[in-house]
A and B are shown apart, each in its own frame.
Chain A
């Protein structure tokens, strides 16, 4: 199970990182091509789509490393049971909101699929293909928060709290 989790978060990071690197290479290729008088069609749109892939794919990894920002001024003053209670409230809200996001980003991509929507760009690409990273990435985020929720239920320390503690210990 631990190995599976490890690979899940690794996959989130690798997919996001790869999108970022590909996006950079695409933009560089566009500059180089223009110097030789060639235009890569829709490269700016592809860069935008790769940006959405970078951001959404990496959400789960970023959640697990405790990098999503939150206000911890109250939490850091609470201890024991009350802290766990507030943390459960936060995780419940997190599951609900990210679940809503995951459902409707997936729905948006699904709608684009059933209506055969294409992008309004020079190269018309089926919209659902470029929207899939958004749907998958939001689902990954939901899974990551559920993972933390289960860990908290079992009385363990969720990954993001462990990382947050490590961050504040480094001060």
Chain B
């Protein structure tokens, strides 16, 4: 059967299954089974068995439940309150006020987490209930979280950059350095959009929150940030000094959070059990999706759809800028159906020779790829940040996607910026070599 026909059948099946309300993870598995049937594969079950096994036994993946658990623990302490009380005085005159806390705390947390979903989960656990309590616009609260949660992918340590570094044979240390400035650019873009939106709305999105602070109060408030800064500094420091891998740092973070919770007097056995239950629910939800996505990636590889698409783009013979534009579109479409790491692994082998030939710097391309994957994290139907935020808020996935849309465009602007000014990416790594 022609690959285009198979592709179309699968897209139709997937849309049908998803819209009728079949669980996303099971849909991914179901689609893969159908696709493999269509090409007459005779060992589908065996592939599913081995794929499920390898999908959730990776060492780097163990950081995900740990960071989710850390968030669940911190969520049940007074720390979320302290974070707000510490940051809000500084932002009380800035248009958008506490919406910026979402962005800034995601940016900070991204420095201890390699995963976009974990960042959104941890920060969202802290900030969403507070923003809702203070009467902020729900759409903006969810949008800022979905958008800045994706910073977890870009700001080091980043699992996705490690995957890219290995398959593209680019130095991971240099990739980590390269991710810093684009990350800051994104934070600025998000904050600028939030401030601009608030001003255009006549600041009505923050109308319920009109608390004012004196300078002394602001200094007092800053003290409340010390515990969280220590915790994040400990987790971050252990990674940067090379004492620990992200997973170990995450385990360290769990222990540190429990200790902090005890010191703040908010530790209870009930709270501990609840935090484990919460971590289990979120990890299992994401875990089953990873099982489905891993199998889908495998099935797609067998059918040859990603390769066919990549080859088709390569055949068009384009200038570097055109190539980047088409690749962006291509990756965004792929990212709608496949998880970010799968997109990277499946396409690096096909796309990289083409990229090298077009004289595009592989270090730059890695950051570009991560930015595009960030966009795909907030596009339905398969956008991990959307799933995480849907689980956190109980809001419909399309509602969350719509709320995140402006931040999708902010990431697009960041891609344009790094394309026009590659120095944003390359400056710090060049400093390292000289």
Contact = CB atoms under 8 A, between A and B. Distances in A.
10 contacts: A16-B284, A17-B277, A20-B69, A47-B62, A48-B58, A68-B23, A69-B24, A86-B21, A90-B21, A97-B33
A90 B20 contact: yes
B21 A87 contact: yes
A interface majority secondary structure: helix
Contact of B22 (A94, A104, A167): A94
Contact of B29 (A21, A30, A101, A167): A101
Given A27-B248, A52-B57, A168 B394 contact: yes
B65 interface: yes
A55 interface: yes
A67 B24 CA distance: 11
A145 B394 CA distance: 21
Nearest to A92: B22
A72 B396 contact: yes
Q: Give the 5 A-B residue pairs with the shortest CB-CB distance, closest first.
A: A108-B49, A55-B287, A167-B394, A27-B251, A58-B284
A22 B57 CA distance: 15
What interface size band does chain B fall in? 35 or more
Interface string B41-57: 00001101110110011
Contact of A56 (B17, B56, B387): B56
Contacts of B284: 16, 54-55, 58-59, 61-62, 67-68
B289 interface: yes
Nearest to A96: B30
Nearest to B18: A71
A100 B283 contact: no
A67 B282 contact: yes
Contact of A13 (B25, B254, B280, B381): B280
Contact of B288 (A45, A59, A93, A167): A59
B280 A97 contact: no
Interface string B390-434: 110111111000000000000000000000000000000000000
Contact of A44 (B59, B250, B287): B59
A38 B69 CA distance: 27
A94 B251 contact: no
A73 B396 CA distance: 7
Contacts of B291: 55, 101
Contact of B53 (A13, A96, A108): A108
Given A17-B277, A28-B252, A76 B396 contact: yes
Nearest to B26: A97
B157 to A, nearest CB: 16
B341 to A, nearest CB: 16
Contacts of B30: 93, 96-97
B62 A69 contact: no
Given A24-B251, A49-B57, A68-B288, A103 B45 contact: yes
Interface in A25-66: 27-28, 30-31, 44-45, 47-52, 54-56, 58-59, 61-62, 65
Instruction: Find the residue from B50, B66, B255, B281 having the highest chain A CB count within 10 A.
Output: B281
A75 interface: yes
Contact of A69 (B19, B59, B66, B289): B289
B297 interface: no
Contact of A68 (B25, B48, B61, B250): B25
